[in-house]
Structure 1
Amino acid sequence: MSLFIGLMSGTSLDGVDGVLVDFWAGAARTLASAHVPYPDTLRDELLALQAASENELEREALAANRVAAVYAQCIEQVLAKTDIKPADVRAVGAHGQTIRHRPELGFTWQSLNGALLAELCGIDVIADFRARDVAAGGQGAPLVPAAHQALFGQPGKTRVLANIGGIANISVLQPDGHVTGFDTGPGNVLMDEWIGRHLGKPYDDDGAWAAGGTVVPALLASMLSEPYFAAPPPKSTGRDLFHADWLQRHVQAHLNATPQDVMATLTRLTAITLASSIRQHAPATEIVYLCGGGAHNATLKRMLADELGSHVQVATTDALGVAPSLVEALCWAWLAFRFDAREPGNLPSVTGAQGLRVLGALYPR
C-alpha cells in the first residue's frame, strides 16, 4: 500500500475534512474519512485575521497552533476507522487555513503550525503547498485542477469539475489532456456571511432561504460589475476581495430589497459567474460535476442548471465515485503523494507559474 492522508480546511471556515487514500499502482482508493468542525472561538479568530488587526502576528501564531490541534484530531478520527497505524502512513498533505491570499504582492498565507502537527500525529507532514507556485510567478491557486486531471480526467471527453466552497473554482479537463482552471468568484462565502448576519445560521441549508426570495436585478447587475469577473485567467481570489464590506457596498444602494431577496440574488450571482466561466472556457462540455459544500445546495444547483441550459447536465462527483465533501481533501492527499515522489503538483496553464514545480514543505515526524 501507498498511504497518504489529505487534510483540507477551506474559505468557509467550517472545519477540517480528512481522507486516508491508498495510491498503490497509480490508483486512488479512499479508505476512510472524517470531518472535525472548528470551535466557534477559533473560527471567529481566523475570520478576524482575514484583515489587518492589532497584535496579529502573535494571534496568528497562536491560531496556527490551534489549527494544528484540530488537524491532528481529524487524523486521529480518520485512522480510528481503520486498523492502520500512523507509522503505516507515508505522509500527510495539509492545506492549512488561508487567511491572506495576495499573489499580486508575491505571497499567500495558510495558517498552520506544520512542525506541531508532525509532533502531534507522528507522521511526516507536507504543508505550504501554494508558496512555491507563487514564488514562480503563479497565482498559487487553484491547485486542484492538476489533481482533478489525474483522478478524474477521461481521454476523448471534456469534463468540468466545479468546486463550490467559500470561493468557487472550475477545472476544465480537455479531451487531449490539456487542463485549464481558475477561481470564478464567490461560492458560499457571501451567502454564509449574509445568512449568519440575519438568521444566525452558518449556511443556507439546501438553499431553502434563497428559494423563498426573489432575485433583485439591479443588485445583481451591481455585483456583476466587479472587475474580477471580466478579468482573464490565470486568476484567483478569496476573502481579500469578497468580504462583508464588499457585500455591504452593493447592498446599501438597494435598501428596498428584503434580506431574503438579497440571499436569492447572492445565490444567483454564484450560479451566473460559474455558468459564464463554463460557457466561455468549456463550451463543448455536456456535464458539470459539482463538489464542495455548494454541491448540497439545491437552489444553487437549480439556478446553475438554468444558466447552463438543458444541453448541460449538472451532477455531483458522487457520479465519479467520490463524495463532494471529500474531493478537496483527496486532492491534498494527491499533492502529498506528488511531493513524496518529487513530482510537480502545479499546472502553469492554470496558475500562470513560470513552469512545473514540486510543491510543499516537509516537516518530518
Structure 2
Amino acid sequence: MTPGLYIGLISGTSMDAVNAVLAEISAAGFRVLAARSVAFPAPLLARVRRLSIPGISPASADAIDAIDAIDELGELDHLVGELFAGAAIGLLAARGVSPQDVTAIGSHGQTVRHRPRTARPFTLQIGDPNIIAARTGITVVADFRRRDVALGGEGAPLVPAFHAATFSDPAERRAVLNLGGIANLTLLEPDRPVTGFDTGPANGLMDAWTRRHRDQPFDAGGAWAASGEVVPALLAALLEHPFLRLPPPKSTGPEDFTPAWLDAQVAAAGRPAPADVQATLCEYTAATVADALGAGPPARLIVCGGGVHNDHLVARLAARLPGTRIESSAAHGVDPEQVEAAAFAWLAARTLAGLPGNLPSVTGARQAAVLGAIWPGEATGRTAG
C-alpha cells in the first residue's frame, strides 16, 4: 500500500458520533496518530434515526411520508457529508497537519438501510463524498459496501480484514468483538481463513431503551442494567429472533432489531419493570455473542467499540466465557473507540493500491474485490497517488 497519512471516518449503527482518525501507513506498519469524535447535532440525529430505523417515526407532522422521503434522503446526505467533512478538518487542525499532506480519506458514511438478503439486495450509506472532497480538498474513498453486495456478499462486516492485519497471532486462537449498535465478531484462528459475522444487537436496543426511560443517551457503565433482574421469559423470546438462527455469512442492523419488535416482546412478557428489561437486554447481548462463539471459544477475546465501557456487559460476557481472556483493543495498540475508523483509513489505502478490501470467507461474496469509489480532491487539484 502507498505510504502516507490517511483519515478514516465512520458513524456506526449507534449514531452517537462521527469518529475520525488520522493514521500513518509506513514500512513499519499501520499506526493511529490522532483521533477526534464529533457528536451529531440533536436535530440531525433525530432526522437520521427517523429515516433509518423502521417503527420510530412519530405519528405527527414530523413523520416522513412517501412524498417527501426522497427530499429528506437527499438533504440528509448533504448534511451528514458536511458533518463528516467538518470532523476531518477539525482533526487536521488539532494535529497541525495540512490537508495537502493527507493521501486520502476513507469514509464509511452513515448506514440508513441494510438489506442484503432481499430479492434485490442493497445497502445504503449517506454522507456525500463529493462534499467531503470539496470541503477538505482531499481525495475521498467511499461507498465501500455495495461492490461486495453486487458480488453476492453481505457487504458487512468489512473490518475483519483489518482485525486480521492488526490483532492476529499465529500461536493463539483469538476473536475480535466490536460492540457498537450491532455486535460483530472476527474469528482469528491459526492456519485457517478469517471468518466473521454480525451476532445481533450490542448497544442499540439498550441505548434506545435508556433514551426512552431515563432520558440519557446510554446506560453509563451498565449501572442501570446491573440494578435490574433478568426476566427469563423475555430473554427466551428475544433469543427466538430469526436472524440468530441464520448461518454465517450474515449481517444485520437496526432495521431487524427495531424498537417496535422489542415492544412486542416486552408486552408479551407482561411488561416487566424498565430496569429489568434493561438487565435482560444486556444479558441478551452477552448470550448472543457467547452462543455465536460456540462450544470452543477462543483463548482471547479482544473487545472494541463503545460497549467496552459497559462494565456490566463485559462482566456478563466473562461469566458466559469462563475460559476466555477478555481485554480491550487498547492492550493491542488501538483505542477501542478508534478501531472502526482506523479500518476505513486502512481500506482506503487498499483501494488506492488496487488491493481487495473484502474477505469472501466473511461476507460470502463470490470473489475478493477492490472496494469503493474514488472522489479526487478537486478543490486543490490533487489526485490520489
The TM-score by the shorter chain falls in which range? over 0.9
| Within-5 A mapping of 1:158-237 | 158-176=173-191, 178-237=193-252
User: How big is the shift at 1:225?
Assistant: 0.8
Superposed CA deviations along residues 277-324 of structure 1, whole A, max 9, x for unmatched, are: 1235xx251110110010100000000101111x11111101101110
Report which of the two has the higher share of helix.
Answer: 1
Query: Which amino acid in the other structure matches residue 271 of structure 1?
Result: A
For 1:268 and 1:61, how far apart are their aligned partners in 2?
38
Show the counterpart of 1:81. Answer: 94
Question: Of 156, 172, 179, which residue of structure 1 is paired with 2:171?
Answer: 156
Show the counterpart of 2:347. Answer: 335
SS of the residue corresponding to residue 196 of structure 1 reads helix
Show the counterpart of 1:299. Answer: 312
For 1:69 and 1:159, how far apart are their aligned partners in 2?
38
Show the counterpart of 1:50. Answer: 52
Question: Would the aligned equivalents of 2:297 and 2:321 in 1 still touch at CA under 8 Å?
Answer: no
User: How big is the shift at 1:26?
Assistant: 5.6
Question: Of 135, 141, 148, which residue of structure 2 is paired with 1:120?
Answer: 135
Query: Which amino acid in the other structure matches residue 92 of structure 2?
Result: L
Question: Would the aligned equivalents of 2:82 and 2:127 in 1 still touch at CA under 8 Å?
Answer: no
For 1:38 and 1:179, how far apart are their aligned partners in 2?
34
TM superposition outliers: structure 1 runs of 4+ over 4 Å: none
Show the counterpart of 1:273. Answer: 288
SS of the residue corresponding to residue 28 of structure 1 reads strand
User: How big is the shift at 1:156?
Assistant: 2.4
Query: Which amino acid in the other structure matches residue 29 of structure 1?
Result: R
Show the counterpart of 2:60. Answer: none
| Within-5 A mapping of 1:344-355 | 344-355=356-367
User: How big is the shift at 1:69?
Assistant: 1.2
Q: What is the aligned residue count?
A: 362
Question: Would the aligned equivalents of 1:156 and 1:176 in 2 still touch at CA under 8 Å?
Answer: no
User: How big is the shift at 1:89?
Assistant: 0.5
Question: Of 111, 119, 124, which residue of structure 1 is paired with 2:126?
Answer: 111
For 2:188 and 2:28, how far apart are their aligned partners in 1?
19
Superposed CA deviations along residues 135-186 of structure 1, whole A, max 9, x for unmatched, are: 0000000000011111222222211100000000000011125200000000
Show the counterpart of 1:243. Answer: 258
For 1:361 and 1:26, how far apart are their aligned partners in 2?
27
**Mean Cα displacement is larger for which, 341-350 or 247-256?**
247-256
For 1:212 and 1:104, how far apart are their aligned partners in 2?
38
User: How big is the shift at 1:123?
Assistant: 0.3
SS of the residue corresponding to residue 96 of structure 1 reads strand
Shift in alpha-carbon separation, 1:25–1:127, aligned structure 2, 3 A: same
| Within-5 A mapping of 1:280-295 | 280=295, 283=296, 285-295=298-308
Show the counterpart of 2:84. Answer: 71
Query: Which amino acid in the other structure matches residue 13 of structure 1?
Result: M
Query: Which amino acid in the other structure matches residue 333 of structure 2?
Result: G
Query: Which amino acid in the other structure matches residue 107 of structure 1?
Result: F
The alignment's TM-score, normalised by the length of structure 1, stands at 0.97
Question: Would the aligned equivalents of 1:5 and 1:21 in 2 still touch at CA under 8 Å?
Answer: yes
For 1:342 and 1:316, how far apart are their aligned partners in 2?
32
Question: Of 21, 28, 34, which residue of structure 1 is paired with 2:36?
Answer: 34
Shift in alpha-carbon separation, 1:20–1:177, aligned structure 2, 3 A: farther
Query: Which amino acid in the other structure matches residue 275 of structure 2?
Result: Q
For 2:24 and 2:140, how far apart are their aligned partners in 1?
17
User: How big is the shift at 1:83?
Assistant: 3.0
Superposed CA deviations along residues 234-269 of structure 1, whole A, max 9, x for unmatched, are: 000001101111111100112341000000000000
SS of the residue corresponding to residue 211 of structure 1 reads helix
For 1:77 and 1:256, how far apart are their aligned partners in 2?
45
Contiguous gaps of at least 5 residues in structure 1: none
Query: Which amino acid in the other structure matches residue 342 of structure 1?
Result: G
SS of the residue corresponding to residue 23 of structure 1 reads strand
SS of the residue corresponding to residue 291 of structure 2 reads helix
Identical-residue share of aligned pairs (%): 46
Cα root mean square deviation, aligned:
1.2
